[in-house]
Amino acid sequence: MPSSAEGDAASSMPKCALCLRRKPLCKSHIVPEWCYRPSYDAKHRGIECSSRSPEQHFLQKGKRQPLLCEECDNVVLGKYETQFKEFWFDRQALPHLVNGRSVSVDGADYTLCKLFHLSILWRAGVSSLPEFANVSLGPHADRLRQMLLTGDAGAEEAYAVIGFVIVLDNREVVYDLITGPIRSRKGAFTTYFMCYAGCEWYFIVNQRCSPEHHKLAIRKGCPLELGVMSLKDVKSLNYALKDLATSHARQEESLSHGRRRSGHGT
C-alpha cells in the first residue's frame, strides 16, 4: 500500500495527455524528429522562420514539450511512428523524381498509417506551444485520443487523411519542408493542412467526408493515392509567407510610428 507521501507525490504529477494518468512526462515531439532530418545542414541545424519570430534562426531539434508519459510516447505512439518511418523513409515509398499528376503507393497499413498521421494532428491540438495555437479540436480531441490509445483507426470516412506530394520544377520530391498546421473551414468541414515527409497532408476533422475526399483518403486494402503539387502551390507555405509579410509590415509600421513620436521621422 503506498504511503501518504507517495500518494501526495503522485497527485502532484502532471497528467499524461494520452492515458490521462499522473506520471512523469518526457519531452514529446509534435512532428517526429526524423521528419526534420532532411532539412538539417552539416551542423544538424535547420532554418526556422515564422510570423511569431520574423527573423530567421537555427533550429536544432523539432518542437517538443512535456506532454506524454514514457510508455505512451515510446510504446503506444511509438509503434505508429516506427511503422511509418520504415514504410515511408527506410523503404523509400516515393520515387526520387515524380512524373505525372498522381502517385500510387502500395503497402500502407491502414490502421498504423492513418493513426500515425492522426497522432501528429492530435498532438498539435493538445500542445500549448504557440506554433500550434491555431489547432482547436474541441470534442474531436478526446475521440482522437481514444482512437490512438486503443489502436482503432475508425471508418475510412472518419477523420480522413489525404496527402499531396510536393515537388520542385525538376519534379524532385521536397522532403525538407515542415510547416505548422493551417486551419480552413468550408461548410460543415474543418480541415487542417501541414507539410512533413515530402507531402502536404490534409486532415478532415469530421466523422464523415465527401465522396471526392474519400477517394483520396487513406483506405483499407488500397494503395495510397497521392496527388502531386508544385512547391509554389503549397497552401500551408503560402499562408505562412502571407503571415510573415503581414508581420513584417506591422513591425515596420510600429517602428515608423515610434520614430515619428520621437521626432526622428522624415
> Which pairing describes strands 189-196 and 199-204: parallel, antiparallel, or unpaired?
antiparallel
DSSP bridge pairs for 59 = 46
Over range 79-86, report the average pLDDT.
96
| Predicted local distance difference test score (pLDDT) of residue 25 | 97
Residue 155, pLDDT above cutoff 80: yes
Rounded to two decimals, the pTM is 0.82
Q: What is the pLDDT of residue 83?
A: 96
- Which of 14-28, 133-147, 162-176, 231-245 has the least mean pLDDT? 231-245
> What confidence tens digit (pLDDT) does each residue in 177-208 have?
888 899 998 877 899 999 999 999 999 999 99
Alpha-carbon gap, residue 17 to 6, rounded angstroms? 22
- Segment 88-101, tens digit of pLDDT: 999 999 999 999 99
Task: For residue 169, give the amino acid letter.
Answer: D
